[in-house]
């Protein structure tokens, strides 16, 4: 089984490299294609792997479907496919997000002196380079840290949280210093900005899919049980999705970044719900998403 899964990830990497090689390039690449194409393919394969680990998708069919799902709904995917250097950097920071969320509740009794420093730097890099996800994820980390403050420093994730706080603070300070802070000055402006953000989200397929699936599950008892179960199992991810909506009225790092953050976390929320629905309706006792 492990060999088959390894072959699936290898096939995803090869397919991504081929796709990046044949698609037309509309941007000037900083590095040579021989470097950019394998690097982008490797980062995307890593994102698929980390996303599958986060949502507990371990079967080959589920991994392939997840790769296709991310390729379709990943925010700014069109820039990644054209090998835009900023999109590639953003893709690397997106890889860190599922890793952070997956590691958050992982208790550790060992000493990770050097790894702690690396995790701290990873948190700063991720939050500083991806303005769309830094605010909701930072808010989610803070909320979970408050709820579990008694055992916060006994988990392996506290350097990540600290790094995210530092990176988010730097991003907000830089936005204010450079005059890019779009925070509304009064209530009417905040309402107008929220309406504009919702109108933009209404044109995105992943937002409509997220709202539609959540509404569909909310009207039945078994659906509400699925939502509650997913919320309990993926509390941090669910909180990040909710906090991403909360950033829309003020959007300190820009309205476009706030909308991107909502789409990013909606993507994972839909993936979790899709897994639960496949388990209930199609595979009954077992599912392609579970090992």
Q: Tell me if 8 is assigned to some domain.
A: yes
Q: Tell me if 291 is assigned to some domain.
A: no
Q: Judge residue 199's burial from the number of C-beta atoms within 10 Å of its C-beta, 0-12 exposed, 13-18 middle, 19 or more buried.
A: exposed
Is 15 within 8 Å of 40 (Cβ atoms)? no
In angstroms, the CA 33 to CA 85 distance is 11
Domain of residue 129 covers 2-282
Helix (H/G/I), strand (E/B), else coil: 283? coil
Helices (H) and strands (E) in the chain, counts: 13, 0
Q: Tell me if 289 is assigned to some domain.
A: no
In our burial notation (b when 16+ CB lie closer than 10 A, e otherwise), range 105-114 reads: eeeeeeeeee
Q: Which residues pair with 107 in a beta bridge?
A: 155
Residues 6+ apart with CB under 8 A from 173: none
pTM across the whole model: 0.81
The rounded Cα 47 to chain-centroid distance in angstroms is 9
Count Cβ atoms below 10 Å from residue 4 Cβ, excluding itself.
10
Q: Tell me if 253 is assigned to some domain.
A: yes
Q: Tell me if 122 is assigned to some domain.
A: yes
Q: Tell me if 44 is assigned to some domain.
A: yes
Q: Tell me if 69 is assigned to some domain.
A: yes
What is the number of domains present in the chain?
1
In angstroms, the CA 190 to CA 249 distance is 5
DSSP category for residue 24 = P
In angstroms, the CA 9 to CA 7 distance is 6
Per-residue pLDDT of the chain (291 residues; tens, 9 = 90+): 788 899 999 999 999 989 888 877 666 666 677 778 888 889 999 999 999 988 888 888 889 999 999 988 887 666 677 777 777 777 887 887 888 787 775 654 445 566 777 778 877 877 776 666 777 887 888 888 787 777 666 666 677 778 878 887 887 777 777 665 556 666 676 777 778 777 878 778 888 999 999 999 999 888 899 899 888 888 888 888 888 888 777 776 677 777 888 888 999 999 999 988 887 777 664 444 444
Q: Tell me if 287 is assigned to some domain.
A: no
């Amino acid at each position: 089984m492990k060999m088959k899964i390894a072959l699936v990830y290898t096939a995803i990497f090869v397919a991504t490299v081929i796709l990046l090689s044949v698609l037309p390039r509309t941007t000037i690449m900083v590095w040579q294609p021989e470097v950019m194409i394998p690097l982008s393919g490797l980062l995307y394969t890593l994102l698929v792997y980390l996303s599958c680990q986060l949502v507990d998708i371990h079967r080959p069919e589920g991994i392939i479907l997840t790769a296709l799902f991310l390729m379709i709904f990943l925010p700014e995917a069109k820039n990644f496919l054209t090998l835009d250097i900023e999109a590639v950097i953003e893709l690397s920071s997106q890889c860190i997000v599922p890793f952070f969320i997956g590691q958050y509740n992982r208790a550790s009794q060992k000493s990770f002196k050097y790894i702690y420093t690396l995790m701290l730097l990873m948190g700063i890099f991720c939050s500083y380079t991806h303005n769309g996800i830094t605010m909701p994820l930072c808010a989610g980390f803070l909320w979970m840290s408050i709820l579990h403050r008694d055992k916060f420093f006994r988990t392996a994730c506290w350097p990540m949280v600290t790094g995210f706080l530092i990176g988010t603070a730097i991003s907000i300070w830089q936005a204010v210093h450079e005059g890019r802070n779009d925070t509304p000055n009064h209530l009417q402006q905040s309402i107008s900005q929220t309406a504009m953000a919702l109108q933009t989200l209404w044109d995105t397929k992943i937002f409509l899919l997220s709202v539609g699936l959540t509404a569909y599950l909310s009207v039945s008892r078994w659906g509400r049980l699925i939502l509650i179960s997913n919320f309990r199992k993926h509390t941090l991810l669910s909180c990040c999705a909710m906090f991403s909506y909360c950033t829309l009225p003020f959007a300190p790092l820009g309205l476009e970044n706030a909308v991107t953050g909502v789409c990013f976390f909606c993507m994972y929320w839909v993936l979790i719900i899709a897994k639960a629905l496949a388990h209930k309706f199609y595979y009954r006792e077992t599912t392609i998403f579970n090992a």
